[in-house]
Amino acid sequence: MTRNDSADTYIIEGADLILPDAIMPHATLAVREGRIAHILAEHELSSPLDLPDPAFERAPLIHAADAFVAPSLVEMHVHGCGRWGFERIAGHEELLDAAGFLEERGVGCFVPTILWDERALSSLVAAILASGLPRGALPGIYLEGPFVNPAKRGGIQPENIRPADPSLARKILDAAQGLLKITTLAPELEGIGPIYRIFQGAGVLVSLGHSDATLRSIAIPGHPYSMTHLFNAMRGIDHRDGGLANLAFSQSPDYVEVNGDGIHVNATCLQLSARAIPSDSLILISDAVIGAGLPQGTYRYFEHDVVSTERGVRYADTNVLMGSNRLGMDIVRNFTSQAGVPLWQAVRAMSLVPRRALGTAKDFGSIEIGKFADIFIWDKEMKIATRPSALLDGGPHRGSKAQKRK
CA distance 285 to 326: 10
> Parallel, antiparallel, or unpaired for β 375-379 and 67-71?
antiparallel
Confidence band (pLDDT; 50, 70, 90) for 395? very low
Q: Average pLDDT for residues 48-65, to the nearest whole number? A: 84
Which pLDDT tens digit goes with each residue over 125-146?
A: 999 999 999 999 999 999 999 9
Amino acid, single-letter form, for residue 98? A
Q: Average pLDDT for residues 184-202, to the nearest whole number? A: 98
Tell me the pLDDT of the chain averaged across its residues. Answer: 92
pLDDT score of 7 more than 70: no
Least confident of 202-206, 288-292, 360-364: 288-292
pLDDT score of 339 more than 90: yes
Beta strands in 260-337 (DSSP E): 282-285, 297-301, 304-309, 312-315, 321-323
For residues 183 and 160, is the Cβ–Cβ distance under 8 A?
no
The number of CA neighbours under 13 Å toward the Cβ of 289 is 26
What is the CB neighbour count within 10 angstroms for residue 120?
Answer: 19
Please tell me whether residue 112 adopts helix, strand or coil conformation.
strand
What sign does the CA torsion over 349, 354, 356, 360 have? negative
The 8-class DSSP code of residue 152 comes to: G
pLDDT score of 193 more than 80: yes
For the chain, how far is it from start to end, CA to CA, in angstroms?
29
pLDDT score of 218 more than 70: yes
pLDDT score of 48 more than 70: no
Which CATH superfamily, name and number, covers 73-199+236-358? Metal-dependent hydrolases (3.20.20.140)
| Beta-ladder partners of 235 | none
Q: Average pLDDT for residues 164-178, to the nearest whole number? A: 98
Amino acid, single-letter form, for residue 104? E
pLDDT score of 362 more than 90: yes
- pTM exceeding 0.85: yes
- Which residues, in sequence order, are CB contacts of 241 under 8 Å at separation 6+? 214, 215, 216, 235
pLDDT score of 398 more than 50: no
Q: In this predicted structure, what is the pLDDT of residue 182?
A: 98
Least confident of 92-96, 207-211, 301-305: 301-305
Give the rounded percent of residues in the chain with a pLDDT score beyond 90: 82
Q: In this predicted structure, what is the pLDDT of residue 390?
A: 92
Q: In this predicted structure, what is the pLDDT of residue 406?
A: 43
Which pLDDT tens digit goes with each residue over 325-338?
A: 999 999 999 999 99
Cis peptide before 224 (omega within 30 of 0): yes
What is the residue extent of each domain of the chain? 10-71+365-403, 73-199+236-358
Which pLDDT tens digit goes with each residue over 242-292?
A: 999 999 999 999 999 999 999 999 999 999 999 999 999 999 999 999 999
CA distance 350 to 361: 12
- Which residues, in sequence order, are CB contacts of 304 under 8 Å at separation 6+? 157, 315, 316, 317
Q: Average pLDDT for residues 4-33, to the nearest whole number? A: 89
Q: In this predicted structure, what is the pLDDT of residue 401?
A: 59
Q: In this predicted structure, what is the pLDDT of residue 187?
A: 97
For residues 311 and 326, is the Cβ–Cβ distance under 8 A?
no
What architecture is domain 10-71+365-403?
A: Roll (2.30)
> Parallel, antiparallel, or unpaired for β 312-315 and 61-63?
unpaired
Q: In this predicted structure, what is the pLDDT of residue 396?
A: 42
Beta strands in 217-348 (DSSP E): 225-227, 255-259, 282-285, 297-301, 304-309, 312-315, 321-323
φ and ψ of 353, to 5 deg: -65, -45
CA distance 290 to 31: 36
Q: In this predicted structure, what is the pLDDT of residue 99?
A: 98
CA distance 361 to 104: 22
For residues 243 and 234, is the Cβ–Cβ distance under 8 A?
yes
Q: Average pLDDT for residues 229-250, to the nearest whole number? A: 94
Q: Average pLDDT for residues 29-55, to the nearest whole number? A: 85
Q: Average pLDDT for residues 100-122, to the nearest whole number? A: 97
DSSP per residue over 33-101, as a string? TTEEEEEE-GGG-S-GGG-S-GGGTT--EEE-TTEEEEEPEEEEEESEETTEEGGG--SHHHHHHHHHH
